[in-house]
Amino acid sequence: MSLDATTLSLPQAYIEQMKQMLPKDGDAFLLSYKDPRTFGLRANPTKWITHADARLNAEQLFHLRPVPWCEEGYYYDEASRPGKHPYHAAGFYYIQEPSAMSAVALLDPQPGEFILDLAAAPGGKSTHIAGRMRGEGVLIANEIHPQRAKILAENIERMGIGNTIVTQSDPHALASKFPHAFDRIMLDAPCSGEGMFRKDEDAIREWSPEHVAMCAARQWDIIQAAVAMLKPGGTIAYSTCTFNRQENEEIIDHWLRHFDQFKLLRMERIWPHQAEGEGHFVAVLQWQADHSASTEASNTNMRSRKQGRKSSGSRVSDPQAAYSQFEAWKREYLPGLHLPQGIPLLFGEELYWLPQGNVSAIHALQGGETLRGLRVPRAGLHLAHLRKNRIEPAHALALYCRSAKEAAQSISFAATDSAAEAYLRGEALPLEGDNAQLKGWTLVSIDGLPIGFGKASGGQLKNHYPKGLRTTG
């Protein structure tokens, strides 16, 4: 719920906490709650770079200004509402609070790595990591809560990401599957949300010193699972959107005392009275390669193995025939499409492309066998639905396409064209002129950005934009 900052009522204990933390500028910090909020979006680099006209249009429409700590980040004017524009549906950018962009910038993920985002919903940091990976390597984005995991999977799909697996697992159960496996881990820890006060009344109502202590205890539990999954030499970025020391500096001090193989590389805060953003804390720690795992980390991993056996899940184990059928479809309709390194998986009638990435990921995933027993809302790139021995392309496949050049046939609308609005509402469209001759599966684009599929027949384009995504009005 949005707040009028001039009427913001903060808990007295919180006010006293912040004045003690900031003896010189506590008043300036508290007065920042009366300032207008800042709004940000983060460009999707795989599309932002290659669609210059759409990029220039977005810069003008949304009055974009760069975020200093994130090369992909921009401030936008609230009134421009980029979340309502077709470019958002096409995965051209991700709406994200500006200071939250600092965490992945400091984690510094690289193409080709095996990376985990441990508490990933709604997907801001996962999509940022995937953008930095440039489609190379494998990202596992995990979220324990079912509804939030669903939202995470939808955002991964919207951004056209092909090398990410979404899991819905308790961190300790996940640790039983991936002991000391990841090159980098992002842990944006569930926190008391003090940086959310300006935009969320619920965060204020839920806050108390007791709630802060509960969050710190939960964060320490998750950290132990994260440590059990990091490779020696690997890096973890720990972040929160809260200000108190108990969930931030004190957690890091506790971490370094218990796990002496770690070195603190960097610790940064963004304060809302000093920068344009709601505030964020980030600490980057590295497992020094000449140290072995501590006893506590090993015990955590053994405990997580026992818990992990409670998970459930299954998949059909013979996907090759389905993939051969898809390949024939792809040669006809998407001849320019290139998939990342991976293998096909078949879940019922749904065909996925499981990314493989580097040697570490291939070993850890074991051809998908490691995913058995886990809930997996998205096992990589969703390729197709199998419909009575015919292929129907998945919506994710359209968003994965970088441009219309990958398709044998396509149709593009301007974002300002009424036909673009009609397509997003799910309406069938008449095909005129040269397009009247189209037949079969057709990639639909808006200002050159692929946004979905249609099926052309008899001078009409049958709309295959998913019903759950269609706009109204």
CA distances from 359 to 133, 134, 430 (A): 16, 18, 49
> What letter represents residue 206's amino acid?
E
Instruction: Kindly tell me if the per-residue pLDDT of 313 is higher than 90.
Output: no
Residue 309 has pLDDT above 60, yes or no: no
Answer yes or no: is 123 a known binding residue: yes
Measured CA to CA, the distance from residue 421 to residue 416 in angstroms comes to: 8
pLDDT at 292: 57
Per-residue model confidence as pLDDT tens digits over 162-171:
999 999 999 9
Cα distances from 274 to residues 194, 241, 321, in angstroms, run: 16, 15, 58
Is 125 annotated in some ligand binding site? Answer: yes
Closest by Cα among 414, 403, 425 to 57: 414
Q: 369 among the known binding-site residues? A: no
Q: Does 120 count as an annotated binding residue?
A: yes
Ranges of H-type helices in 377-473: 395-400, 418-424
Encoded tokens for 473:
């009005």
pLDDT of residue 308: 35
201 CB contacts (<8 Å, ≥6 apart)? 1, 3
The 10s digit of each residue's pLDDT in 69-113 is: 999 999 999 999 999 999 999 999 999 999 999 999 999 999 999
Confidence check: pLDDT of 314 > 70: no
- 273 backbone dihedrals φ, ψ, rounded to 5°: -90, -5
Q: Greater confidence, 352 or 360?
A: 352
Residue 290, annotated as binding a ligand: no
Q: Are strands 93-95 and 40-43 parallel, antiparallel or unpaired?
A: antiparallel
Distance, in Å, from the CA atom of 69 to the CA atom of 38, rounded to the nearest integer, reads: 15
**Burial class, 294, CB count within 10 angstroms (exposed 0-12 / middle 13-18 / buried 19+):** middle
Weakest-pLDDT range from 59-63, 177-181, 202-206, 239-243: 202-206
Distance CA(143)–CA(159), nearest Å, equals 18
Residue 393 forms beta bridges with which residues?
384
Cα atoms in the Cβ-side hemisphere of radius 13 Å centred on 161: 36
Polymer length in residues for the chain: 473
Mean pLDDT, all residues of the chain: 92
- pLDDT of the residue at 297: 42
Amino acid, res. 326: F
Is the pTM higher than 0.75? The answer reads yes
Q: Which listed residue (191, 215, 241, 401) is catalytic?
A: 241
How far is the C-alpha of 66 from the C-alpha of 371, rounded, in Å? 39
- The confidence score (pLDDT) of residue 199 equals 85
Q: Is 231 annotated as a binding residue?
A: no
Q: What is the DSSP string of 250-280?
A: HHHHHHHHH-TTEEEEEEEEE-TTTSSSS-E
Q: How far is CA 226 from CA 221, 230, 361, in A?
A: 9, 7, 17
Give the residue-averaged pLDDT of 272-276.
Answer: 96
Give the count of alpha carbons within 13 A of 94, CB side only: 30
User: What is the band of 266 on the pLDDT scale with cuts at 50, 70, 90?
Assistant: very high
Residue with tokens 């998407």: 334
Q: Give the whole-angstrom CA distance, residue 176 versus residue 169.
A: 11
For residue 212, give both structure tokens: 């802060």
Per-residue pLDDT tens over the stretch 365-393 = 998 999 999 999 999 999 999 988 789 99
For residue 8, name the pLDDT band (cuts at 50, 70, 90).
Answer: low
Q: Is 124 annotated as a binding residue?
A: yes
Query: Could you tell me what percentage of the chain is helix, strand and coil, using 3-state DSSP and rounding each to the nearest 5?
Result: 40, 25, 35
pLDDT in tens, 283-302: 999 999 776 554 444 444 43
Q: Containing H/E element for 172?
A: helix 171-177
293 is in an annotated binding site: no
Backbone φ, ψ for residue 388 (5° rounding): 50, 55
Q: Which residue has the higher pLDDT, 121 or 319?
A: 121
Active site residue 70: no
Question: Do 234 and 185 touch, CB atoms closer than 8 A?
Answer: yes
CA distance 118 to 134: 20
User: Which uninterrupted H or E stretch holds 61?
Assistant: helix 52-61
Residue predicted with more confidence, 180 or 387: 180
Please tell me the predicted confidence (pLDDT) of residue 291: 64
Quick one: three-class SS letters along 19-52?
A: HHHCCCCHHHHHHHHHCCCCCEEEECHHHHCCCH
